[in-house]
């Protein structure tokens, strides 16, 4: 069974019952899985988490594993990093993810849970992931000799790739901030032609909207 969690919820808890057997002996343990979000505001670019299966049999002192699915929505500008924590400091339960992070396209990771002979009867296991970074977006672009000024959001502080009419003009970048990019050069060097022009900004491999400006 896969439990899918909406990316818009503030928090949720799943009850996992782990049962161990050794001949006629049976031992059970209930574990609450809490999925939390660092940011409760839904965004265009987002992701959701799922867990499979919801219960397993495991002997005390043994190891079991779950599949954590990460489904992305929209275009994430960064990968998804997962972490797990136990609500009791001396729970004698260890967790690990393989792999420990995913690319922006999502996928599955294996959560390994290792118990001990004296693990508590119940514990809360929390899986967390930071909210996705916003994608770059251009709101305006204007060329006033000798500068092309691009305004918008989520440009970052360095390393942006700027294309005008499909020509990379990043080498002429003179200033970059989260909300503004300035390039200096002649219209020929900046790839600007008379009439309609198209500009895009790429940050960490994520391409912005294609913005049209006139010259």
pLDDT of residue 71: 83
Mean of pLDDT values over 180-185 = 96
Can you give the residue ranges of every domain in the chain?
3-129, 137-214
Q: CATH topology for 137-214?
A: Immunoglobulin-like (2.60.40)
Query: Using one digit for the tens of pLDDT, what is the confidence trace for 124-155?
Result: 666 777 666 678 999 999 999 999 999 999 99
Query: Using one digit for the tens of pLDDT, what is the confidence trace for 37-62?
Result: 444 444 456 777 887 877 677 777 88
H, E, C per residue of the chain: CCEECCCCCCEEEEEEEEEEEECCEEEEEEEEEEEEECCCCCCCCEEEEEEECCCEECCCCCEEEEEEEEEEECCCCCCEECEEEECCCCCCCEEEEECCEECCCCEEEEEEEECCCCCCCEEEEEEEECCCCCCCEEEEEEEECCEEEEEEECCCCCCCEEEECCEECHHHEEEECCCEEEEECCCCCCCCCCCEEEEEEEECCEECCCEEEEC
Query: Using one digit for the tens of pLDDT, what is the confidence trace for 205-215?
Result: 888 999 999 98
């Amino acid at each position: 069974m896969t439990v899918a969690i909406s990316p818009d919820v503030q928090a949720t808890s799943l009850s996992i019952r782990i049962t161990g057997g050794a001949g006629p002996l049976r031992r059970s343990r209930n574990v609450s899985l809490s999925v939390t979000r660092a940011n409760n505001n839904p965004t265009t670019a987002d992701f959701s988490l799922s867990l499979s299966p919801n219960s397993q049999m495991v002997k005390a002192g043994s190891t079991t594993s779950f599949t954590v699915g990460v489904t992305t929505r929209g275009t994430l500008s960064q990968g998804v990093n997962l972490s797990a924590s136990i609500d009791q400091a001396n729970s004698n339960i260890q967790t690990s993810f393989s792999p420990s992070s995913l690319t922006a396209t999502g996928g599955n990771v294996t959560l390994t849970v290792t118990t001990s002979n004296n693990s508590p009867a119940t514990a809360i296991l929390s899986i967390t992931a930071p909210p996705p970074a916003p994608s770059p977006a251009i709101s305006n672009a204007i060329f006033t000799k000798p500068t092309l000024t691009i305004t918008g959001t989520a440009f970052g502080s360095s390393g942006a790739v700027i294309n005008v009419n499909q020509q990379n003009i990043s080498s002429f970048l003179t200033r970059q901030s989260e909300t503004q990019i300035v390039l200096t050069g002649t219209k020929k060097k900046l790839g600007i032609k008379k009439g309609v022009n198209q500009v895009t900004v790429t940050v960490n491999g994520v391409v912005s909207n294609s913005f049209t400006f006139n010259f």
